[in-house]
């Protein structure tokens, strides 16, 4: 009777190590069956242990961006967000316009950076004054809480982002799983406020950061998550010189989260 046997029996520790070594160094050798026991040469085959590819944060952002573009239909006026995740959305839109899969799209950019990228991809652009009604806005987020409230604006474009997204029938957010928080401010990273004065954010060149609207950014930090976003937003807006804050409350209609187990869509 033909039999199958390992040349050597790996220990439990060596089996687990198969997932921690490169594919080229992980081999299991199998002996072929033989019916002639007197003089039969042994043939060896090797099976390479392949480990699943590890997705980077950019990979996750691109997955979420591609899913968000599924919401886009030809003829739409689109709000084009700002930031690393939104850049993947704009790139995908440019690709679909080039292939003819989308037509008659008009984009309303939320920053000069997004405007420059969109122009380089030949995406037709307009401004909010000329297109005050927007069908769909797609943008990233710095934090997303369980109720789909957001912190946005760490990229410095929060005023234009909020204006464009407030004018949109639908606002789809794209993010990776690292942006999920139990409460806004929970990441202990900056919650930006755009204003005219006070302590200013300093750029890499040592100069205060100036937004596209020629305002300044003040970064607020919280030891504990914000319990009442609306009360906090009202309090911040009441401070002298404040133009806008980075709390985007009850604005997102859907949030697309890309994680290591796949893409999840959360909607209201």
Say how many C-beta atoms besides its own lie within 10 A of residue 38's C-beta: 5
Q: Report the sign of the C-alpha dihedral through residues 187, 153, 200, 204, in that order.
A: positive
Q: Which helix (H) or strand (E) holds 64?
A: helix 57-69
Say how many C-beta atoms besides its own lie within 10 A of residue 18's C-beta: 17
What residues contact 133, with CB distance under 8 A and at least 6 apart? Answer: 77, 167, 169
Cα–Cα nearest to 252, from 136, 160, 159 = 136
Instruction: Give 83-133 as a DSSP string.
Output: SHHHHHHHHHHHHHHHHTSS-S-EEEESSHHHHHHHHHTT--B--TTT---
3-state class (DSSP) for residue 158: helix
- Active site residue: 95, 115, 143, 161, which one? 161
Enumerate helices (H) and strands (E) in the chain, giving the number of each. Answer: 6, 14
Residue 161 appears among annotated catalytic residues: yes
Q: Which helix (H) or strand (E) holds 138?
A: strand 134-140
| Cα 150 to Cα 256: distance, rounded to the nearest angstrom | 13
Say how many C-beta atoms besides its own lie within 10 A of residue 244's C-beta: 22
> Are the beta carbons of 216 and 227 closer than 8 angstroms?
no
Catalytic residues: 161
């Amino acid at each position: 009777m033909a039999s199958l046997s390992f040349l050597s029996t790996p220990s439990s520790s060596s089996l687990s190590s198969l997932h921690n070594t490169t594919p080229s160094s992980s081999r299991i050798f199998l002996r072929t069956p033989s019916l002639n026991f007197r003089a039969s040469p042994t043939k060896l085959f090797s099976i390479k242990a392949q480990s699943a590819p590890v997705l980077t944060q950019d990979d996750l952002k691109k997955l979420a961006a591609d899913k968000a573009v599924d919401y886009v239909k030809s003829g739409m006026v689109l709000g084009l967000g700002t930031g690393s995740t939104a850049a993947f959305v704009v790139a995908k839109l440019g690709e679909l316009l080039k292939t003819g899969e989308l037509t008659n799209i008009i984009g309303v950019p939320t920053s000069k950076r997004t405007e420059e990228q969109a122009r380089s991809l030949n995406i037709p652009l307009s401004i909010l004054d000329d297109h005050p009604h927007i069908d769909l806005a797609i943008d990233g987020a710095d934090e997303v809480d369980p109720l789909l409230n957001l912190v946005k604006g760490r990229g410095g474009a929060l005023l234009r982002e909020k204006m464009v997204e407030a004018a949109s029938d639908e606002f789809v957010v794209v993010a990776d799983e690292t942006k999920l928080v139990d409460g806004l401010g929970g990441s202990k990273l900056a919650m930006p406020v755009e204003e005219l004065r006070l302590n200013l954010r300093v750029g890499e060149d040592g100069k205060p950061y100036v937004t596209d609207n020629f305002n300044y950014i003040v970064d607020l930090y919280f030891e504990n998550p914000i319990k009442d976003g609306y009360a906090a937003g009202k309090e911040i807006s009441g401070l002298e010189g404040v133009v806008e804050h980075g709390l985007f409350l009850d604005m997102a209609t859907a949030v697309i989260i890309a994680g290591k187990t796949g893409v999840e869509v959360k909607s209201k």
